[in-house]
Amino acid sequence: MRDFWNTALRDLGKIGVAYILITVGAWLVFMILIPQLIMFDYSLRPMLPLREIGGPKDVWTLKNYLVFFSNRLHMAIFFKTIWSSLIVTLTALAICYPIAFYLAKVARGTKVGLLMLGLIIPYWINELLRLFAWQIILADMGILNQLLIFLGIIADPINFRMGNGAVILGMTYAYILFMVFPIYNVMESLDRNQLDAARDLGSSWLRIHYKIVAPHAKPGIAVGCTMTFMLAAGTVAAPQLLGSPSSFWFTQVINTNFECANWNLGAAYATVLMLLCVIFMFIMLKLFKVGLKELTQ
């Protein structure tokens, strides 16, 4: 620790160290810690009329959390959100692993640049607009249905937006980059000679991936999965725009609570969601045997 401070002081000087401490500290305290604590505090208090706030009834209670655990519908939506986010994560992983491998170890020169550009360009457009585009594609008389009818594959339009399919599809599309880049980054650092060596020793490509590439890419896979899962579980735009009116997402329940002015209940639900994400992250770390330090690399 002492070494750490000495090196920092030598490399950055007193002003530099102070600048970093103040800016990062302020960001941590004001942007993350205090808002989260306020929300947590909200979640532990009952909803009261304005004049009773701060009065004798305004005490800490677990009532809001009990509401959640006793509401079977909300619990069901909560588990559906976990389940669907897992599907989004796994689908994104299945799509992104080959892309990342191709980018990092197969493609050369300008091909890499073009592919990268192709991946990034959609992200120049606002997420909402991209979701609207999907809405247009998947609508009852949308492009996809018209194409399928034109090709004679179907006679009547399919309602793609029934259930969760459209939401999962839209999210997978929206978060692909967050999966590709962490995996690409670690794969990039894999020595090509290791692939050649394994091949030379007689290994099939499947085994090379299972034994050499995937183990090397583990930290990237863990980061990609964590990010995609959190984004999928935490977004409100995708279910709002692509989900069917009958199929609710947990973030929408939270949103409704805030809109109905029951901030306390909303805060409790949001805390539950946050806990879920933290737990998921630790499960990923454990599953991939990756340390917190590696995760940040």
Partner 1 sequence: MGQDVELLDVSMRFGEFYAARDINVHIQAGEFFSFLGPSGCGKTTLLRLVSGFMDPSEGKIKIGGKDMRGIGSNIRPTAMIFQNLALFPLMTVENNIGFGLEVRGMPKAKQKKKVEELIELVDLHGTGDRMVSELSGGQMQRVAIARALAVNPAVLLLDEPLSALDLRLRSHMRAELRNIQRRTGVTFIYITHDQTEALTMSDRVGVMSIGKLEQVATPEVIYNNPETIFVASFVGESNIIQGDIISIDGDYALLKTTSGSFFCKNPQHMSPGETATIFIRPETVFLAKEPNADNVLTCSTKNLSFEGSYAVVTLTTEQGQLLTMRLNNDGTVPRIEEGENIKVRFSRENAFLLKNGDSSIA
**Residues in contact with partner 1 by the rule CB under 8 A:** 191, 193-194, 196-204, 207, 211-212, 215-216
Which is nearer to partner 1, 73 or 201 (by Cβ)? 201
Which is nearer to partner 1, 127 or 294 (by Cβ)? 294
CB of 45 to partner 1, least distance (A): 50
Which is nearer to partner 1, 152 or 202 (by Cβ)? 202
CB of 23 to partner 1, least distance (A): 37
Question: What span, in angstroms and rounded, lies between the C-alpha atoms of 297 and 293?
Answer: 7
Q: H or E stretch including 86?
A: helix 72-101
Which is nearer to partner 1, 117 or 206 (by Cβ)? 206
Question: What span, in angstroms and rounded, lies between the C-alpha atoms of 218 and 170?
Answer: 26
CB of 76 to partner 1, least distance (A): 42
**How many angstroms separate the Cα of 289 from the Cα of each of 6, 100, 183, 216?**
32, 21, 16, 12
Question: At a CB cut-off of 8 Å and minimum separation 6, what does 164 contact?
Answer: 80, 84, 243, 247
Question: What span, in angstroms and rounded, lies between the C-alpha atoms of 242 and 161?
Answer: 6
CB of 297 to partner 1, least distance (A): 15
CB of 289 to partner 1, least distance (A): 11
Q: What are phi and psi of 157, to 5 degrees?
A: -60, 145
CB of 194 to partner 1, least distance (A): 5
Tokens of 53: 């706030």
Which is nearer to partner 1, 23 or 204 (by Cβ)? 204
Contact 84, 141 (CB under 8 A): no
Contact 37, 271 (CB under 8 A): no
Which is nearer to partner 1, 220 or 239 (by Cβ)? 220
